[in-house]
Amino acid sequence: MFQGTQTQREYMAGPQPVGLCFAADGRSAKFILDQSFEGKQLLDLLSNYPEAPARLARPYGLTGWVVEG
């Protein structure tokens, strides 16, 4: 088993899902993001780039956020 720091283990694990795309049309899509640590990191990342073509996240159900872009 790989021994190392938490960051190294996360990197070696590869990409992890943080949500689900439930509607896509051409170059636009809607995503449901999990209310997990990684999902919140992605929302923070999107908020750092207000010029990006993504609409603000809205709560969705009990455990998610909808992001359109």
**Rounded to an integer, what distance in angstroms lies between the CA atom of residue 31 and that of residue 54?**
11
pLDDT recorded at residue 2? 55
* 55 DSSP 8-state letter: P
Cα-to-chain-centroid distance, residue 40: 7
pLDDT, tens digit, for every residue of 12-62?
Answer: 878 778 888 888 888 778 888 888 888 888 878 877 877 766 666 777 766
Structure tokens at 25: 């049309």
> Is the confidence at residue 6, as pLDDT, over 70?
yes
Instruction: Say whether pTM exceeds 0.75.
Output: no
The domain ranges of the chain are 21-68
